[in-house]
Chains A and B, each alone.
Chain A
Amino acid sequence: MKRSDFNAVSTGALNKQLTVATLFVLAVFGILILRLWFLQIVSGSTYRTKSESNRIHLQDILPFRGMIFDRKGEMLVGNRPSYDLYVIPEGVQDRGQLVRELNWLTGIELKQIERKFDEASPKYPFKPVCLKKDISRGELAVIETQRFNLPGVMIKIKPQRYYVFKTLASHLLGYLGEINEVQLKSGQYPANKQGDLIGKSGVEWKWQSFLNGIRGGEQVEVDAAGRKLRVISKKRSIPGANVYLTIDKALQSIAEKALTENKGAIVALDPNNGKILALASSPFFDPNLFVGGIDKRTWQKIISSKEYPLQNRALTGQYPPGSVFKLIVAIAGLAEGVIDPEEELVCKGVYTLGRQKYRCWKKYGHGKVNFHKALVESCDVYFYKIGKRLGVDKIASYAKAFGLGKTSGFDIGQEEPGLIPTSQWKLKRFGIKWQAGETISTSIGQSFVLVTPIQMANLMSAVFNGGILYRPQVTERAGKNGTEKFYEFSPTAKKVKIKDEYLELVRSALIGVVNEPGGTGSRARLKDITVAGKTGTAQVVSLKKVKDLENNDEIPYRFRDHAWFIAVAPADKPRIALAIIVEHSGHGGKVAAPIAKKMIKCYLGVRR
């Protein structure tokens, strides 16, 4: 090639081409630099934030929930380690073999393990996948010893609510459940987030804000595979405050043991201050089932059960009081001057008002009965007559004075008020005038009267402590003294306006119920301790329907009477007041009184 040829082109044409090329290159680089300007300067801080949230993950550190103790410092509710089985997908060498191995060792279904594996995000091969929560000790032991055979498998430990004695005091302690949408929005749970377990009933519910504690958290640096590299900063969680209850674990278990066969409720309290000593409701449930998420089938089974295991019958069971209501009628009669303790009335087993006949529980009558004998032998006819003299509204005013017909003010709450009828109430409720015959059945605690076991225990307590109606409370102490979250028991009481001489007459009769021959509560008698009590047999249906069936066993279960027994011991210096109801089990003296005896023996420390 000749140089001259080349020059002809290069001086003119090629130079022009090169200038175009240079301009093009400059323009393209200009675009690239502009783009960098946009990315790094204009949106730089946005991308910086994105890169930070890429690498920093926030992890909650859940606080230990406060523990719950009984009056003697025995732990009733605590936290135990839950061993959760995890697998890190990246660490697994042979998935098929691992799945078979785990199935063989732990019995988790093959399909279930496979499903968990499939759910894991392939983007984060280092993120542990939970295969099974809360494996048993046995499974844990097997996995730990086989660990070298199970690459990728790990165990994470997390605190789990633990109800030490399972069903013991389950209704009182309550249970946990996942916080719901409404609760989250309510602002009442500032310390909680979605997925948290909060107290749904009982003590767990009432003291939620104390027990919960404050969550901590840590900032963890992770890499693209989700592998945790280091902790950048950490805020410890603050454990929840402990709650000390006034209940006595030993007494509580005796009460519950007595109720295992039947439905019913027992309340025991200290007549000197209103502290609850035992509060049982049957049937029981195991709150351990609710922690870590209850499965749907079990939940359905619990809530659809006709026996209402979640209901706390001691607080919300509204029962007709039957003969235990005679206490109120007796006090009212004495205070209103319609009872002369010496006056003897005649019981022939039946009382007639108009065309209606009202029977005494003793078919052939008690004969001549004075006030004392009437209470001791629980003569219905005597109280029909007194009731007639008083009228329903007088009875009601004394019943209300002793705390019936409204909630007792129990510190945990979740109570029902029961019902004390008045003539006005009936008119308002049904638009019908009060009938004289209704007063007669009200006098023996039937007709519309409804009471709860806790009200009955409190009534009995007031009769024996000289008319002081304490607010029943179960919280001895919550939290630590000197901290923001601290609560301590202080008694709250109201003096019922009643002369003690009337109460004394009632008291001596109630001692007679247990200790005199012919007394209905003799099965509660103790050798060294004077027990006072009153039996009750609450009719579920009108007596007419079952009058021909003398033997209790022949009556269909749901029509059988509820057995009541309320008691106090020692009668002269009361330390425990009790109300016991056993549903559909017949006579109070037969079924409920022996339970009282056992509990008093336990609480007052009597041998034999």
Chain B
Amino acid sequence: MFDRRLIQHFDWILLLILLLLAGISILNLYSATYAVRDIGGSQIFIKQVYWYLIGFAVFFFMTTFNYNVLEQLAYPAYFVTIALLVAVLLVGKVTSGSQRWLSFGPISFQPSELIKIAIVMVLARFYSRRGGHQGYRLRELWQPFLLIMIPCILILKEPDLGTALLLVAASFCVILFSRVNWKSLVILVVLALSVAPFVWHQLKDYQKTRILTFIRPDMDPLGSGYHINQSKIAIGSGQFWGKGFLKGTQTRLNFLPEQHTDFAFSVLGEEWGFIGSVSLLLLYLFLILWGLNIAKTSKDKLGAIMAVGIVAFIFWQVVINVGMVIGLLPVVGIPLVLFSYGGSSLITTMAATGLLMNISMRRFMFST
């Protein structure tokens, strides 16, 4: 049953990149939680090891079937996830002002993570069925637009501005990749800009201050600008070689906020310096380029679009998070994919990269 060629075409490079990321992530989390190791900190780091083990299991599971079956599963998966997102708004757990979690007994997860894969699946299905096209027009875009906007609005309601933005950015990449008529593109951009004031009005106060603080971080150094200032101090003070493992003072003395989640990259920047942070970025860059290469070499359009979608999600998560911690983008609560602590995000991403592996392994198998 299992094709021998699958083993032959196993993408060792993709696996190596993931193993390296897992290793660095766990090492970094160990440091980020070192100061609080006696009050539950070490638990976080051990949990992440388990999450990674589960993650790799999911990763391998995702390679066991031909990804073409997902074409059939796309819509059911999408609607189930939408249902979960609605459930979050109804019965979700409220943590620090937002409702993002759903609990099933002892397990709780964020359906907004699952939607990433679901979106990739439905968009891939939608576009792979339309043959050689010279660019979609606006009226042909209403369907994908709706597919994206429904979860987006649900997620904004939680509220989780970061994930909603990510969803838009990544999906937009997939649509662009599938070619859009340039006139329609201009209209879309104008439309987006014209609804911006309305969206601004809809934002919560804390979200507004975050964006304002991004523009003027010195406005309130102890208030909302505090996080970003401390993050920049942490990264900048790492200088070229870094302060050394477990020796980051910003980290250890807790000046750095959310150091095991959103600001995990700052911990690395402080302790491993320019060398360390650039190395990690290059690893991500390599993963993304490798993903694009998988898209290029995939055997069909479904695989190509799926690969591009997955890569787009990874790319934007890296850019939004790193951009945020180095003060290039406003603070939105997006963890660094494959690096920050967090089960939902990790499992989803491992599933997505498993899918990438799936596409890569089956690049020479032609369906008839």
Q: What size tier do the contact residues of chain B reach?
A: 35 or more
Partner of B300, one of A3, A31, A32, A43: A3
A3 touches B236 (CB 8 A): no
Q: B323 an interface residue at 8 Å Cβ cutoff?
A: yes
B235 touches A39 (CB 8 A): yes
Q: Which residue of chain A has its CB nearest to the CB of B71?
A: A1
Q: A123 an interface residue at 8 Å Cβ cutoff?
A: yes
Interface members, chain B 286-304 (any A CB < 8 Å): 288-289, 292, 295-296, 299-302, 304
| Contact (A224, B235) CB under 8 Å given A5-B131, A10-B304 | no
Give A257 to B21 CA distance when docked, in angstroms.
Answer: 86
Q: A346 an interface residue at 8 Å Cβ cutoff?
A: no
A51 touches B233 (CB 8 A): yes
Interface members, chain A 42-63 (any B CB < 8 Å): 43-48, 50-52, 54-55
The residues of A that contact B281 with a CB separation of less than 8 Å are 29, 32-33, 36
Say how far A33's CB is from chain B's closest CB, in angstroms: 6
Q: What size tier do the contact residues of chain A reach?
A: 35 or more
Partner of B131, one of A9, A25, A29, A123: A9
A47 touches B255 (CB 8 A): no
| Contact (A55, B233) CB under 8 Å given A25-B292, A32-B322, A224-B254 | no
Q: Which residue of chain B has its CB nearest to the CB of A25?
A: B288
Q: A21 an interface residue at 8 Å Cβ cutoff?
A: yes
Interface members, chain A 378-424 (any B CB < 8 Å): none
Q: Which residue of chain B has its CB nearest to the CB of A21?
A: B292
Q: B200 an interface residue at 8 Å Cβ cutoff?
A: no
The residues of A that contact B273 with a CB separation of less than 8 Å are 40
Partner of A47, one of B237, B277, B296, B301: B237
Give A5 to B232 CA distance when docked, in angstroms.
Answer: 50
Q: Which residue of chain B has its CB nearest to the CB of A15?
A: B296
Pick the most buried of A10, A21, A37, A50: most chain B CB atoms within 10 A of its CB.
A21
Q: B357 an interface residue at 8 Å Cβ cutoff?
A: no
B235 touches A6 (CB 8 A): no
The residues of B that contact A13 with a CB separation of less than 8 Å are 132, 179
Give A532 to B236 CA distance when docked, in angstroms.
Answer: 85
| Contact (A1, B302) CB under 8 Å given A25-B315, A41-B240, A50-B233 | yes
B236 touches A40 (CB 8 A): yes
Q: A493 an interface residue at 8 Å Cβ cutoff?
A: no
| Contact (A54, B255) CB under 8 Å given A1-B301, A32-B319 | yes
Indicate with 1 or 0, residue by residue over A10-26, a CB within 8 angstroms of chain B CB atoms: 10011101100110011
The residues of B that contact A225 with a CB separation of less than 8 Å are 254
Q: B249 an interface residue at 8 Å Cβ cutoff?
A: yes
Q: B94 an interface residue at 8 Å Cβ cutoff?
A: no
B366 touches A3 (CB 8 A): yes
Indicate with 1 or 0, residue by residue over A166-184, a CB within 8 angstroms of chain B CB atoms: 0000000000000000000
The residues of A that contact B255 with a CB separation of less than 8 Å are 51, 54-55, 223-224
Give A41 to B367 CA distance when docked, in angstroms.
Answer: 52
Give A22 to B255 CA distance when docked, in angstroms.
Answer: 37
Q: A270 an interface residue at 8 Å Cβ cutoff?
A: no
The residues of A that contact B285 with a CB separation of less than 8 Å are 25-26, 29
Say how far A220's CB is from chain B's closest CB, in angstroms: 12
The residues of B that contact A37 with a CB separation of less than 8 Å are 274
The residues of A that contact B222 with a CB separation of less than 8 Å are 123
| Contact (A14, B129) CB under 8 Å given A44-B236, A54-B250, A224-B253 | no
Say how far B72's CB is from chain A's closest CB, in angstroms: 13
Identify 5 residue pairs between A and B in the complex whose beta-carbon atoms are under 8 Å apart, listed by A's number.
Answer: A9-B133, A13-B179, A39-B235, A44-B274, A224-B254
